[in-house]
Amino acid sequence: MPPSFPSLHPSILPIPSCLHPSHPSILPIPSSLHPSHPFISFSCSSRRIFIIWAISSWFRRGPAPQEQSSTGGTPRAPSRNLFPKDTLMDLYVYISEHEHFTDFNVSSALFWQKRDLVYGDWTSGENADGCYEHYGEVDISQSVQQNGSIYIHVYFTKSGFHPDPRQKNLYRRLATVHTSRMINKYKRRRFQKTKNLLTGETEADPEMIKRAEDYGPVEVISHWHPNLTINMVDDHTPWVKGSVPPPLDQYVKFDAISGDYYPILYFNDYWNLQKDYFPINESLQRLPFRLSFCPLSLWRWQLYAAQSTKSPWNFLGEDLYEQSDEEQDSVKVALLETNPYLLALTIIVSIVHSIFEFLAFKNDIQFWNSRQSLEGLSVRSVFFGVFQSLVVLLYILDNETNFVVQVSVFIGLLIDLWKITKVMDVRLDRDNKVAGVLPRVSFKDKSTYIESSTKVYDDMAFRYLSWLLFPLLGCYAVYSLLYLEHKGWYSWVLSMLYGFLLTFGFITMTPQLFINYKLKSVAHLPWRMLTYKALNTFIDDLFAFVIKMPMMYRIGCLRDDVVFFIYLYQRWIYRVDLTRVNEFGLSGEDTVTPPPPHPSTPPTVLPPPPGAPKPPEDKKKD
């Protein structure tokens, strides 16, 4: 999820378009407006990695001890690799439509056979890196063309043996290692039936409309990628059964009788980008397939295994702890194509950006939790922020955005609702119930807001603002109705309000500027939080203008800078005036504590005036 480009105080004034959770990089809008670059991907990755680590640590706290002893109670002895280093091996690769392969006698099923490979050899091959490659075309049946599955079965045997168990003289269980997987990938293609609400026409492809009518709004389609790498891990660690750490324990297979483990085979498709997959349909008779074999070191295999492991928390939604395919592609492209120095800078800046966002959020909560007076703060802007968050939440629910975004926006809405209790006196009126059942919620302005001139200036600012916003809202509603397609009238209302807030929402930042101007003061603003937001703004601007992005996106970030610099200008011209007298007739100069007297000078005692009564001590002396 891309970082929300920050601006000023999100609760003093409404969040502008490019700062809001409704940012186009989060919500499903046209791909041409989707800003994808390494900074956004790494920032999102760092947040999700932290969440996965925190929750995984919580649930894995105090795990049950794993079985590390044999049935007799004695500790298990460390096992060894069944294939010693420099073992001569033969490779057999079969491709079949069956998950369990038995057709060893079918010659067409054998895709690749390579003899006399050396286990742990890093110097052979065409490029002297221990890698071998084979290219061919896979014939597919009608079943595969119609969303059927296709599997690859890989066998490594010690030289001179055969993987077919039926060949008793050539098959040895401890001399054969086997693994398999499905090599086609199923992807969901969503189709939303939209139309112009006035004319009933649509620009969607008629074939897509027909497929949506036949298969529903969500269609599962089989896809193919022409590249795959088989890695054999060059590892001879004395693993102990039951103590292999996750996620490595999914790949280390032990023999049930001898207790030793087979060589670790790993299908490496990490560098297969999603954009290179293509759908399998009736027009394809053969599929191109380039298969590679390479040795792999233990630490690199651990990195790949950690990246490719499926999240164990699938009951919370598949997207909750896993990056989307597009975000993963962004990270991979950045690792492949970005200059190493720029890549390191991007990672550092992403971490700093996340820290500043957390500090800004913490200070925002602290500011409103400890705020006693509302003088100088726009209460109407807080209510407008709740309206914005509600529109965004309903919009993403209507567009079936992933669960992570829905939760984050919902939490933001709860925080905005909590802020209402800080700017208004909220109570339940149990005497006047709604429909005679539910107590009525009543809102009343706080005394610090009514007694100050802030309320007058706040009402004045929003009255002037309505003269601009309402005509723009009407124009945008007409434009959306005439030229855009929608699922229905409800979707039109949500998308119209969302698009309007995305385009013109920054205008609602101006009431706070107007209040500052009328009060000639900015002392009421949370400047510590604004400082963190400002630093994040400059970071976002740097990447927005250095990296290729849509021009409207850059303008959206620049307009927030303009408003922030106006705040800085107001802070400069509305400095603290110590000579100004308050309502009690005191000034800042009067409250300055006088310097203490010099210790060497004794205090001067003045005699009492004549006729004054004597204190009791003097009367006793008389």
Per-residue pLDDT, 609: 58
Percent of the chain with pLDDT over 70: 67
* Average pLDDT estimate for 98-115: 93
Lowest mean pLDDT among 145-159, 467-481, 601-615: 601-615
Q: Backbone phi, then psi, for 59, in 5-degree steps?
A: -75, -25
Lowest mean pLDDT among 13-17, 312-316, 486-490: 13-17
Angle of CA points 90, 116, 289, to nearest 5°: 60
Domain span holding position 424: 373-450
DSSP-based three-state secondary structure for 173: helix
* More confident site: 538 or 198: 198
Please indicate, yes or no, whether residues 420 and 289 belong to a single structural domain of this protein: no
Encoding tokens for residue 589?
A: 């100069």
Please state the separation of Cα 257 from the chain's center in Å: 46
pLDDT in tens, 401-423: 667 677 778 888 888 888 888 87
Please indicate, yes or no, whether residues 417 and 304 belong to a single structural domain of this protein: no
Q: Backbone phi, then psi, for 224, in 5-degree steps?
A: -135, 140
Between CA 302 and CA 575 the distance in angstroms is: 58
Between CA 137 and CA 135 the distance in angstroms is: 7
Please indicate, yes or no, whether residues 230 and 162 belong to a single structural domain of this protein: yes
Please report, as a single letter, which amino acid is at residue 420: I
Q: List the end-to-end C-alpha distance of the chain, in Å, as a whole number.
A: 89
Please indicate, yes or no, whether residues 95 and 237 belong to a single structural domain of this protein: yes
Please indicate, yes or no, whether residues 271 and 404 belong to a single structural domain of this protein: no
Per-residue pLDDT, 289: 96
* Domain contains 478: no
What is the pTM for the complete model shown? 0.62
Cis peptide before 247 (omega within 30 of 0): yes
* Average pLDDT estimate for 555-573: 74
Among 427, 450, 473, the domain boundary falls at 450
Please indicate, yes or no, whether residues 265 and 383 belong to a single structural domain of this protein: no
Please report, as a single letter, which amino acid is at residue 177: V
Per-residue pLDDT, 350: 76
* Domain contains 293: yes
Q: Are 109 and 263 in contact (CB under 8 A)?
A: no
Encoding tokens for residue 404?
A: 């992570």
Between CA 476 and CA 622 the distance in angstroms is: 96
57 burial level (CB within 10 Å; 0-12, 13-18, 19+): exposed
* Average pLDDT estimate for 247-271: 91
Among 393, 418, 450, the domain boundary falls at 450
* Domain contains 359: no
pLDDT in tens, 428-487: 777 777 777 777 777 777 766 666 677 777 778 778 878 887 888 888 888 888 888 888
Please indicate, yes or no, whether residues 245 and 389 belong to a single structural domain of this protein: no
Per-residue pLDDT, 170: 92
Per-residue pLDDT, 443: 77
* Domain contains 364: no
Please indicate, yes or no, whether residues 136 and 278 belong to a single structural domain of this protein: yes
Per-residue pLDDT, 419: 83
Range with top average pLDDT, 222-226, 304-308, 513-517, 610-614: 222-226
Give the pLDDT band of residue 398 (cuts 50, 70, 90): confident
Range with top average pLDDT, 21-30, 210-219, 327-336: 327-336
Work out how many domains the chain is built from and give that number. Answer: 2
Please report, as a single letter, which amino acid is at residue 294: C
Per-residue pLDDT, 280: 93
Please indicate, yes or no, whether residues 298 and 406 belong to a single structural domain of this protein: no
* More confident site: 353 or 319: 353
Residue 121 has pLDDT above 90, yes or no: yes
Per-residue pLDDT, 368: 74
Lowest mean pLDDT among 30-44, 112-126, 360-374: 30-44
Handedness of CA 546, 547, 553, 557 (dihedral sign): negative
* Average pLDDT estimate for 594-617: 56
* Domain contains 26: no
Per-residue pLDDT, 223: 93
Lowest mean pLDDT among 316-325, 379-388, 434-443: 316-325
Q: Backbone phi, then psi, for 151, in 5-degree steps?
A: -120, 155
* Domain contains 146: yes
Per-residue pLDDT, 32: 32
Please report, as a single letter, which amino acid is at residue 51: I
pLDDT in tens, 20-70: 333 333 233 333 333 344 445 545 555 544 444 444 444 444 443 344 555
Per-residue pLDDT, 158: 95
* Domain contains 343: no
* Domain contains 237: yes
Between CA 97 and CA 182 the distance in angstroms is: 9
Please indicate, yes or no, whether residues 398 and 264 belong to a single structural domain of this protein: no
Please indicate, yes or no, whether residues 384 and 297 belong to a single structural domain of this protein: no
Between CA 495 and CA 481 the distance in angstroms is: 10
Please indicate, yes or no, whether residues 292 and 395 belong to a single structural domain of this protein: no
Among 291, 315, 339, the domain boundary falls at 315
Between CA 493 and CA 391 the distance in angstroms is: 10
Between CA 395 and CA 401 the distance in angstroms is: 9
Handedness of CA 512, 517, 521, 527 (dihedral sign): positive
- Average pLDDT of the residues of the chain: 74
